[in-house]
């Protein structure tokens, strides 16, 4: 697999110095490799996007919507191949891989509809002052760089690519070097739809490729999803160019369980929030705040539920949770297990890597974790849940908000008035009440504090790729 870069409507071989090894995490073995794009090829991709911009931004909204619907249809036609690749390269169970694909399809369909509803480019603005007229235009922001992570490939790229194309932007997409294959489907679909050359460009690579893209002075905007450490570098690059940036970064989210909850339902919501995608989610609700009155009943049930999860290879077994996606992440999570032992944390379930081929760890629960523990404060990005007890609603809100992150939270309570009140008090971008983490394309996605800048999905995702221009004319 050498022709892994899609530039100016053509597939080309990588000319960079890095060889990317693509692994099956359930086996801990590579199954493909490709050469990274060179810095010069990144420049070619940006140049191609710049050249395609004038014609693409002047296409009608209905034309762009037709292309977006084409992406949705073509993704559906590739369904089984993409699901299998998501399972093989990410280690996702089949039901998760299916939801990922459905999410990507829904995203392109939604932004096709939104594109068709775009107002005319000119809208009159009433003025209080006489003698002047004014109008406003929504214009594409221009050439955008999209850098996406390895935990939800295909999905995160759809969240960025669909609204960018709907707005009339041209793009350069850089997938993660851990999961570089599945986004190639977008290039194949662009070919099948005869998308104008240069509107979509895809370059694969490691840090050098990402830096070349984020530092490129030919971009008008950069949208990045990933870790806070890399996000800060991306932000520095954007500041040097005075360039707008959207950042979707980390989280250390809380799930708050009040004592009027049904224990069985609460356990279901808690398990889903920490073991979906093996806990490799910025939105993982990895801090469990459980009220005193229910804690003694809930924690043993939760321990049993985690111990009974089926962990294995999704391609050969029916599983509830697959492996961690990379060896680096496996080593990181194993390091937190060692830290927990050093800190003397009470481990009710798991707390170890599994003795088998591949990068597997056990679903883990620690009880009565101190607030100054590294496991309570740091993003682990694995199926590691830390629990603390609380007495009052005010205490729960204070402890949930006591974090440098602010992405999501979940509230579990039979008292819906209280649940809504707590949801309003939490300093995050998205709150679920009595639910698993259902994400809908119509709603917004993004956080507060150290969890990022800006919003994706919904109309906010489209506006992130639009620029507002006002024209004022003297009538005298």
For 361-418, the pLDDT digits (tens) are 999 999 999 999 999 999 999 999 999 999 999 999 999 999 999 999 999 999 999 9
Asked whether 361 and 383 are in contact (CB, 8 A), the reply is: yes
CATH architecture assignment, domain 5-249+451-474: 3-Layer(aba) Sandwich (3.40)
Which whole number is the average pLDDT over 337-347?
Answer: 98
Long-range contacts of 389-397 (CB under 8 A, 24+ apart): 389/289, 389/290, 389/291, 389/292, 389/295, 390/256, 390/289, 390/290, 390/291, 390/292, 391/291, 391/292, 393/258, 393/418, 393/421, 393/422, 396/256, 396/258, 396/289, 396/291, 396/422, 397/422, 397/425, 397/426
Determine what percent of the chain is predicted with pLDDT higher than 90: 96
**386 an active-site residue?**
no
Q: What whole-number distance in Å separates Cα of residue 456 and Cα of residue 434?
A: 23
Q: Does residue 337 register a pLDDT over 70?
A: yes
Encode pLDDT of 235-244 as tens digits: 999 888 899 9
- Other Cβ atoms within 10 Å of 355 Cβ, number: 6
Q: Tell me what pLDDT residue 136 has.
A: 92
Q: Quick check: helix, strand or coil at residue 219?
A: coil
Angle ∠(272,273,275) on CA atoms, nearest 5 = 65
Q: Tell me what pLDDT residue 3 has.
A: 66
Question: From the CA atom positions of the chain, what is the Rg in Å?
Answer: 23
Backbone angles phi, psi at 473, to 5 degrees: -130, 135
Asked whether 243 and 220 are in contact (CB, 8 A), the reply is: yes
User: Quick one: CA torsion of 26, 188, 18, 249, rounded to 10 degrees?
Assistant: -70
Among the listed residues 96, 177, 183, 248, the single catalytic one is: 248
Encode pLDDT of 67-120 as tens digits: 999 999 999 999 999 999 999 999 999 999 999 999 999 999 999 999 998 877
Q: Does residue 1 register a pLDDT over 60?
A: no
Q: What is the DSSP string of 385-429?
A: EEEEEESSHHHHHHHHH-SSEESEEEEE-S-HHHHHHHHHHS-SS
| Nearest one of 243, 224, 218, 225 to 49, comparing CA atoms | 218
Q: What whole-number distance in Å separates Cα of residue 371 and Cα of residue 385?
A: 14
Encode pLDDT of 300-332 as tens digits: 999 999 999 999 999 999 999 999 999 999 999
Alpha-helix residue ranges (DSSP H) falling in 168-308: 184-193, 207-214, 228-241, 263-275, 292-307
Domain with CATH 3.40.605.10 in the chain: 5-249+451-474
What is the CATH T-level fold of the domain 254-440, as seen in this structure? Aldehyde Dehydrogenase; Chain A, domain 2 (3.40.309)
Which whole number is the average pLDDT over 272-290?
Answer: 98
**98 an active-site residue?**
no
pTM: 0.96
CA distances from 29 to 88, 220, 240, 358 (A): 11, 39, 40, 8
Return the axis-axis angle of helices 292-307 and 263-275, rounded to nearest 10°.
60
Domain with CATH 3.40.309.10 in the chain: 254-440
Among the listed residues 282, 386, 412, 456, the single catalytic one is: 282
Residue entry with tokens 């009040």: 258
* Average pLDDT of the residues of the chain: 96
């Amino acid at each position: 697999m050498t022709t892994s870069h899609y530039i100016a409507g053509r597939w080309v071989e990588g000319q960079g110095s890095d060889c990317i090894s693509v692994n099956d995490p359930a086996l801990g073995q590579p199954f493909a490799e490709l050469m990274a794009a060179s810095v010069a090829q990144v420049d070619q991709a940006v140049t191609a996007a710049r050249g395609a911009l004038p014609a693409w931004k002047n296409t009608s909204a209905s034309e762009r919507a037709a292309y977006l619907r084409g992406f949705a249809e073509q993704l559906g036609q590739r369904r089984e191949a993409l699901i299998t690749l998501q399972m093989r390269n990410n280690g996702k169970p089949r039901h998760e891989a299916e939801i990922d694909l459905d999410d990507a399809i829904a995203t392109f369909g939604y932004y096709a509809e939104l594109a068709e509803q775009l107002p005319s480019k000119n809208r009159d603005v009433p003025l209080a002052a006489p003698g002047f007229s004014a109008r406003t235009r929504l214009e594409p922001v221009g050439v955008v760089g999209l850098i996406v992570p390895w935990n939800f490939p295909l999905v995160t790229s759809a969240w960025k690519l669909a609204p960018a194309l709907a707005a009339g932007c041209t793009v350069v997409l850089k997938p993660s070097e851990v999961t570089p294959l599945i986004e190639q489907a977008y290039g194949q679909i662009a070919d099948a739809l005869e998308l104008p050359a240069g509107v979509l460009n895809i370059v694969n690579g490691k840090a050098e490729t990402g830096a070349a893209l984020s530092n490129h002075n030919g971009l008008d905007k950069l949208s990045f999803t990933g870790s806070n450490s890399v996000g800060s570098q991306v932000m520095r690059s954007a500041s040097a160019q005075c360039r707008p940036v959207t950042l979707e970064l980390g989280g250390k989210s809380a799930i708050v369980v009040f004592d009027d909850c049904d224990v069985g339902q609460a356990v279901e919501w808690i398990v889903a929030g920490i073991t979906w995608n093996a806990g490799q989610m910025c939105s993982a609700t990895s801090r469990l705040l459980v009220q005193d009155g229910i804690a003694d009943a809930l924690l043993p049930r939760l321990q049993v539920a985690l111990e009974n999860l089926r962990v294995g290879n999704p391609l050969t077994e029916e599983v509830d949770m697959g492996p961690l996606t990379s060896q680096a992440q496996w080593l990181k999570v194993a390091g937190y297990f060692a830290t927990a032992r050093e800190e003397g944390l009470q481990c009710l379930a798991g707390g170890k890597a599994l003795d088998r081929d591949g990068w597997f760890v056990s679903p883990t629960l620690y009880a009565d974790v101190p607030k100054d523990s590294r496991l309570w404060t740091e993003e682990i990005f694995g199926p590691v849940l830390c629990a603390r007890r609380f007495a009052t609603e005010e205490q729960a809100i204070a402890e949930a908000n006591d974090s440098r992150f602010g992405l999501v939270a979940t509230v579990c309570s039979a008292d819906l008035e209280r649940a809504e009140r707590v949801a309003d008090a939490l300093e995050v971008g998205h709150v679920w009440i009595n639910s698993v983490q259902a994400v809908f394309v119509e709603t917004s996605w993004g956080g507060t504090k150290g969890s990022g800048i800006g919003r994706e999905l919904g109309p906010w995702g489209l506006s992130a790729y639009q620029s507002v221009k006002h024209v004022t004319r003297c009538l005298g």
